[in-house]
Amino acid sequence: MADSAPVRLAVLVSGNGTNLQAVIDRIDAREIKARIACVVSDRQEAFALKRAEQHGIPTVIHEIGAYSSRRAYDTALVEILRNHGVQLVLLAGFMRILTDVMVEAFPHAIMNIHPALLPAFQGLHAQQQALEYGVRLTGCTVHFVDIGTDTGPIILQAAVPVQKDDTEETLAARIRQEEHRIYPEAVRLFCAGKISVDGRQVRILS
Ligand code: GRF
């Protein structure tokens, strides 16, 4: 793999883009052999777009408005990604659930970061769900995306202790630090050809 071409990534965002930034930083540091071919946002006002522009990364605003269905939206999304030669798609705070159209177009080549130790606390407000349940440990999970919500094969996880005075915000901030460590690491492993998938089992090759 030493002299292979950089893997072409797309990062899909809706908001702040701190995970996008973490990946950009590790690529810039030459720790990940990849190039971000495009950042796609479903929201024009996403700050993540500014982060991309600051690094000279092409951006695409792909809003739901014009599309009659989620599948039609995803069909157009696949075309955008194909036109950019994308090999690996990263969901980084992208607030839309993908349909079979996207999942089947990029088998085992779409990753997501979720702010809980899956399969616990799937869906929205995972940090608040953890607080309400009363767990002592939560964390974050990088997984491949399948047709379910937060159900795909798990690549990496990191545990984060819950402190007794935590709010949703303080817990989210502590989890986010770990997200910024394990998401780029999962991308690095993929781009180095060190991930294989067998059913639900993701193997990290040495
Ligand atoms: C993170 O908490 C991530 O776990 C979730 O969405 C949030 C994105 O944050 N999927 P950011 O836009 O990367 O800062």
Q: What confidence tens digit (pLDDT) does each residue in 125-172 have? A: 999 999 999 999 999 999 999 999 999 999 999 999 999 999 999 999
Are the C-beta atoms of residues 160 and 140 closer than 8 Å to each other?
Answer: yes
pTM here is 0.97
Which atom of ligand 1 lies closest to the CA of 15? Answer: 12
Q: Which residue among 114, 125, 143, 180 is the active-site one?
A: 114
Relative orientation angle of helices 18-28 and 168-191, to the nearest 10 degrees: 40
Does 62 qualify as catalytic in the annotation? no
pLDDT digits over 14-60, tens only?
999 999 999 999 999 999 999 999 999 999 999 999 999 999 999 99
| Predicted pLDDT of residue 67 | 96
| Length of the chain counted residue by residue | 206
Pocket test for ligand 1, best of 51, 125, 176 (most atoms within 8 A of CB): 176
Query: Pocket residues for ligand 1 (CB within 6 Å)?
Result: 15-19, 92-93, 113-115, 176, 179
Are the C-beta atoms of residues 20 and 48 closer than 8 Å to each other?
Answer: yes
Relative orientation angle of helices 47-54 and 18-28, to the nearest 10 degrees: 10
